[in-house]
């Protein structure tokens, strides 16, 4: 008997790690939710423009422009979501067997973000120990560090007096470790269990901030390197994010 397309899909799904499949489901549900809402809102606005035009044979120019502007913003938001996911998917297809010097990646990221730290008056304290190189993806590790540093930067309120972000690397029990610690607001304990879920964010929605994908992507990148990521509130305020990646990592682990 000929196999149907859905049989093939079911068989393929059975080969995927159930945990990954669940994560994929959550991600898909999140994307559907995030895209559905602006789509509906765009439809309502377009319907109302059409309704007025059909009924009165003319359009109120001011109202029309306002609606077009709102629609454009909504499309921008959706494009932002897609670009974010796209950049991750493209990374996933890339080689995960590059020779990565984490200290060099950290230094490059800090150089790129130097101006941002300066203008926001955040002191950066760096402590990089001698560490072996790891096998992985340079672009992925770079985006991981950028995501974690951006979260630290965004967590400081404007009136905060002494803003410090510490970044460190060290080698421990066969793992290369990265630690990023800030003295900002910390994370609400209620939210702590959900920070790695897609679209969980306490920030204002926008194309560049507050999409709630930063830590989801960070988690995926670290998992692809067979590593672990942990986020904790510090006793004296702020957050510490710790990433451990094994050095004897063999073969790529597909997501
Ligand atoms: N260093 C941090 N300090 C305080 N809150 C943080 C920090 N890192 C993450 N968070 C919290 O976790 C949420 C999810 O982070 P993330 O997945 O990067 O999404 P986003 O930054 O787009 O909101 C943030 O909205 C914020 O509430
Ligand atoms: Mg973020």
Mean per-residue pLDDT for 13-34? 69
Provide the angle, in degrees to the nearest 10, between the axes of the packed helices 138-155 and 214-224: 150
Beta strand 134-136 with 163-172 is unpaired
Cα(104)–Cα(157) distance, integer angstroms = 30
Distance 69 CA to ligand 2 centre (A): 27
Provide the angle, in degrees to the nearest 10, between the axes of the packed helices 138-155 and 61-93: 130
Q: What is the pLDDT of residue 96?
A: 76
pLDDT digits (tens, 9 = 90+) for 139-196: 889 989 999 999 999 999 888 889 999 999 999 999 999 999 999 999 999 999 999 9
Reference 148, options 190, 92, 100, 106; nearest CA is: 106
Mean per-residue pLDDT for 200-226? 81
CB atoms within 10 A of CB 82: 12
Q: What is the pLDDT of residue 143?
A: 85
Q: Which of 3-12, 183-192, 239-248 has the lowest mean pLDDT?
A: 3-12
The closest residue, in CA terms, to atom 14 on ligand 1 is 201
**Domain boundaries, given as residue ranges, for the chain:** 5-93, 98-246
143 lines ligand 1 (CB under 6 A): no
Cα(132)–Cα(171) distance, integer angstroms = 8
Domains 5-93 and 98-246 share a fold: no
The first and second tokens of residue 246, run together, are: 């094994």
Q: What is the pLDDT of residue 36?
A: 84
200 lines ligand 1 (CB under 6 A): yes
Q: What is the pLDDT of residue 251?
A: 43
Provide the angle, in degrees to the nearest 10, between the axes of the packed helices 18-56 and 61-93: 160
Cα(10)–Cα(16) distance, integer angstroms = 10
Q: What is the pLDDT of residue 253?
A: 43
Mean per-residue pLDDT for 62-89? 84
Q: Where are the alpha helices (DSSP H) in the chain?
A: 5-14, 18-56, 61-93, 102-119, 138-155, 189-192, 214-224
Nearest ligand to the CA of 153 is 1
Secondary structure (3-state) at 170: strand
Distance 17 CA to ligand 2 centre (A): 27
CATH of domain 98-246: 3.30.565.10
183 lines ligand 1 (CB under 6 A): no
CATH of domain 5-93: 1.10.287
* Residue 211 binned pLDDT confidence (cut-offs 50, 70, 90): confident
CA 160 from centre of chain? 25
pLDDT digits (tens, 9 = 90+) for 25-70: 767 777 787 788 889 899 999 999 999 999 999 889 999 999 999 9
Cα(203)–Cα(209) distance, integer angstroms = 7
If one compares 27 and 79, the residue with the highest pLDDT of the two is 79
Reference 181, options 142, 235, 238; nearest CA is: 238
Nearest ligand to the CA of 199 is 1
Q: What is the pLDDT of residue 6?
A: 64
Cα(236)–Cα(187) distance, integer angstroms = 13
């Amino acid at each position: 008997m000929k196999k149907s397309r859905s049989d093939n899909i079911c068989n393929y799904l059975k080969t995927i790690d159930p945990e990954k499949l669940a994560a994929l489901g959550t991600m898909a549900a999140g994307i559907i939710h995030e895209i559905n809402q602006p789509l509906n809102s765009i439809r309502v606005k377009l319907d109302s423009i059409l309704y007025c035009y059909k009924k009165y044979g003319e359009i109120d120019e001011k109202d029309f422009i306002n609606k077009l502007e709102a629609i454009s913003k909504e499309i921008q938001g959706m494009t932002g979501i897609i670009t974010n996911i796209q950049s991750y998917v493209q990374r996933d297809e890339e080689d995960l067997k590059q020779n990565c010097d984490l200290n060099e990646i950290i230094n490059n990221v800090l150089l790129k973000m130097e101006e941002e730290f300066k203008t926001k008056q955040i002191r950066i304290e760096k402590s990089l120990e001698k560490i072996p190189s790891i096998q992985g993806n340079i672009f992925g590790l770079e985006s991981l560090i950028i995501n974690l540093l951006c979260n630290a930067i965004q967590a400081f309120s404007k009136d905060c007096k002494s803003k410090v972000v510490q970044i460190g690397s060290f080698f421990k029990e066969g793992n290369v470790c990265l630690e990023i610690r800030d003295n900002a607001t910390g994370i609400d304990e209620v939210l702590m269990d959900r920070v790695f879920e897609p679209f969980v964010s306490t920030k204002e929605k926008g194309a560049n901030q507050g999409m709630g994908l930063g830590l989801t992507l960070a988690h995926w990148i670290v998992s692809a390197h067979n590593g672990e990521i942990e986020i904790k509130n510090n006793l004296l305020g702020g957050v510490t994010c710790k990433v451990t990646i094994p050095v004897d990592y063999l073969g790529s682990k597909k997501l």
